[in-house]
Structure 1
């Protein structure tokens, strides 16, 4: 049997799955999967089942847990570093980090964003900070779905679940 250290090093329990699935995130998001799982729940509302409900509930629980871990640091300002789900992507439609962001914002904690692809001053009632150095300076915790080298100088502020610094 494999121990946790072997799994974290990228050894997969099942070689058909591969190592790239062993890098945790903030839950699932995107345009299709959340909508599809909720649609399946509705389609089979009259059929006894637990798995679809468990999947939707587990995703919500994951986001609540992540937000709780961040809020335990007692930040005054939480910075969201990129809204995208994957590195080198500009697609952040319904990304999981937005769910975490909403929970944190709902606690009364200020949330600011650094998302270079946004051309607005506000997104979902959060300030968009264009200057990366200003973003780093004003935040107490920086939430990053995927770690980036540009965060190395503030590693003590960063909250991520990214074990391998890759997708």
Structure 2
């Protein structure tokens, strides 16, 4: 990110990058406090209606969780592969919900309202995480 903003004061961009890293650490830590065996990632996209998840911030959170020895699985209907970043992709939503001890979601949707007790999200009012 720093290279993209060469005309902006470097300490400002560094602070933004550090803040983003702190937020990812915090989210991973909050999920891990629940002591899950398996964490489900509900959707890889950052914004509703998007199909771009190749550089989403959830990838960093996934890595932090995996580094603690917790299995991570993914539900992403827009992705056709069987694995994403060495995490198993589950194509069936009900199976995904059953397999997951905690579900990390960028946004709340009606698809996961029935397992709200498992869901970790910062989306309290229908806003993105």
* TM-score, normalized by the shorter chain, greater than 0.5: yes
Matched, 1:119 2:80: yes
Runs (4+) of structure 1 moved beyond 4 Å? none
Quote the residue 2:124 is aligned against. Answer: 163
Q: Verify: 1:103 aligned to 2:32, yes or no.
A: no
Cα deviation 1:57-78 (Å, max 9, x = unaligned): 0000100000000000000000
- 2:2 is aligned, of 38, 49, 53, to 38
Q: How do 1:34-113 and structure 2 match up within 5 A?
A: 37-40=1-4, 43=6, 49-113=10-74
How many matched pairs? 128
Point out where structure 1 has 5 or more consecutive residues left out of the alignment.
1-36
Using structure 1 for the length normalisation, give the TM-score.
0.72
- Bigger shift: residues 73-82 or 102-111: 102-111
Q: Which runs of 5+ in 2 are unaligned?
A: none
What's the offset of the Cα at 1:166? 3.9
TM-score when scaled to structure 2? 0.92
Whose radius of gyration is greater, 1 or 2?
1
> Over residues 31-66 of structure 1, what are the superposed CA-to-partner deviations in whole Å (9 max), with x where a residue is unaligned?
xxxxxx32157x47xx98521111110000100000
Root-mean-square deviation (CA), in Å? 1.7
